[in-house]
Amino acid sequence: MDILHVDSAVEWRGGQQLLFRLARGQARLGQDVAVACPPAGRLWQELGAAGVARVPIASGGSLRALGQLHRAGARLHVAHTSHAHGN
């Protein structure tokens, strides 16, 4: 995968809506993109319905997410929340 967007929030606010539109648009353009986010959040549901690849991570900051992000093997990680920057 080329691009992995990371958002550790479960809320469905402006940032998550923007990320959804960005990732969906990139996927439609044929870019190899996925989003790492908590399965409990609405972003996870919306991405799945749109056919965008997802990687499950815990909400908030979590050291476990480091391993999950590393195993995803993306060339570029893009953090979209303050907690995601710590991952």
CATH number where 23 lies: 3.40.50
**What was the pLDDT predicted at 2?**
87
- pLDDT per residue over 19-41, tens digit each? 999 999 999 999 999 999 999 99
**What was the pLDDT predicted at 58?**
82
Q: How many domains does the chain have?
A: 1
37: Cβ contacts below 8 Å, ≥ 6 apart? 6, 7, 8, 9, 43, 44, 47, 54, 55, 56, 57
pTM: 0.80
The per-residue pLDDT string of the chain (87 residues; one tens digit each, 9 = 90 and over) reads 688 898 989 999 999 999 999 999 999 999 999 999 999 999 999 999 999 999 998 887 655 666 666 666 766 666 776 554 444
Q: How many CB atoms lie within 10 A of CB 48?
A: 12
What residue numbers bound the domain in which 16 lies?
Answer: 3-86
